[in-house]
Amino acid sequence: MNTLVWFKRDLRIDDHQPLYQAAKAGAVLPVYIIEPDYWQQSDVSLRHWQFIAPALQQLNQQLTALGQPLLIVKGPATLVLRQLCQQFAISRVCSHEETGNLWTYQRDLAVARLLHELNIPWQQYRQFAVFRKLKDRDNWFNLADSWLKSSLAPTVTALPFLTAVQWNLAELAPSRKIDLPLCSTLQDATAANHTFDSFISTRCMHYRQHISLPVKALSSCSRLSPYISYGQLSLRQLQQHSFMALKRSTEQRKQQGLQAFFSRLRWHCHFIQKLEDEPAIEFFNMHRGFDGLREHDFNPALFQAWQSGQTGYPLIDAAMRSLLATGWLHFRARAMLVAFASYHLWLHWRPVALHLAQCFIDYEPGIHYPQIQMQAGTTGINPNRMYNPVKQSQQKDADGRFIRQWLPELRQVPDSWLHTPWLMPAALQQRYSCVIARDYPAPIVDLQQAQQQARARLSQWLQQHNKPDWQQQKQAVFVRHASRKRPATQQKIACRDQLSFDWE
């Protein structure tokens, strides 16, 4: 039996159930498809390819060592699979399930129709603790826990040679007419195991304390997100190895760091399950009662200033410029960027989400859209979190190392003025070579006024719309998406009906 194994966002050979099952039955044709239409989508950028390309080369080396190289083909998946199935007398196709954007979902439907036409079974295996056609969330925690603790798929040790392959990745590389500039990525696509080992052995000791500090997070965060997003590391394997390391450790700080990391791995699947259950949240408010809240007030000038790091608020601008330069940002800064855009600038979350998706090397749709909506306050079941960019700056980057690294125009400004440079007297602006509105932008909105206006707008919206159908929608969101260990009938919605803010 010849089996085609379709690699998508699972670029590894360890704990790879489709590859293992295919190899048990006979010859395997491992295939990766570069789909030109995918690379034209509005949430995609060539930064992602910048990471994927060396990962594919590494995967090819691993498969070649097993006996059968990776075949990389460029074209629509349906056309490529039709041709390969006929050329190599394929008896079945194996792959992992994918919870991607709407485009990949529709592509998978087209592939399913094709393989049905060809009378070729398509066997898809679970890659995360994400369950298709899940009726409700009441038993999700137990299902996830059981799957994450289940046995790993054995690593294939040999593959029968099926065919020689030749490809030039530079010639096959996708292209885009309009794209972000490539970045000097902070992460080596071929260093997944090394990055995990260094985190487990030493870097995790500061994970809990430094995860929200922009300078220290660079080394203390796990930095594993792109390897998980593109499947170079198995999430199940990560969780089991992290748990074993936690049990073996005798050092308190290491235990605390590993425990915090272990719990966040579970949150990964919790958020992807949201998009799996309701693909529409890629485009529409999770609570449809928020439709129209911000869409008609979108200000392109404010959006442009935000996406280029020119808002006049140092920590916001440093975070964005860091992201534009490296493709990575720690979680607190990601949340702060979305909240600032949503509340202070009153921008609809959808354009914000697309820009950030293109920026993040580790873009994972299933995490991205639910998190964006949570930070934008459109879920209906989470508190509104409005980060104060000055307070955050003073608390998280008190000595200004992160700000000065990414905002060279502020490098001479002393700490006492660094977080609010627009308040400097004119003489000091001249002395420190930072004239506001010339060397560095003036704030594009007044902080206090923007905060008050955001609260007033939300309060007015809730007063006008908080009717029985609003509460029914809120309950429906809770039942479908809320995290819980008990049945929804035994729980109350955690978020109060009235407007509530978590000020940070």
13 contacts 62 by C-beta, under 8 angstroms: yes
Residue 487: the pLDDT is: 64
Q: Round to whole Å and give the CA distance between 262 and 264.
A: 6
User: Residues for the chain: how many in total?
Assistant: 504
270 contacts 483 by C-beta, under 8 angstroms: yes
**What are the pLDDT digits (tens) for 41-82?**
999 999 999 999 999 999 999 999 999 999 999 999 999 999
345 contacts 446 by C-beta, under 8 angstroms: no
**What are the pLDDT digits (tens) for 192-245?**
999 999 999 999 999 999 999 999 999 999 999 999 999 999 999 999 999 999
**What are the pLDDT digits (tens) for 173-198?**
999 988 998 988 778 999 999 999 99
**What are the pLDDT digits (tens) for 398-421?**
999 999 999 999 999 999 999 999
CA torsion through residues 333, 338, 342, 347, sign = positive
Q: Round to whole Å and give the CA distance between 503 and 392.
A: 10
**What are the pLDDT digits (tens) for 478-496?**
999 998 766 665 565 544 4
With a threshold of 0.75, does the pTM exceed it? yes
CA torsion through residues 267, 271, 276, 277, sign = positive
47 contacts 361 by C-beta, under 8 angstroms: yes
**What are the pLDDT digits (tens) for 135-151?**
889 999 999 999 999 99
Confidence of residue 354 (pLDDT cuts 50, 70, 90): very high
440 contacts 434 by C-beta, under 8 angstroms: yes
Confidence of residue 498 (pLDDT cuts 50, 70, 90): very low
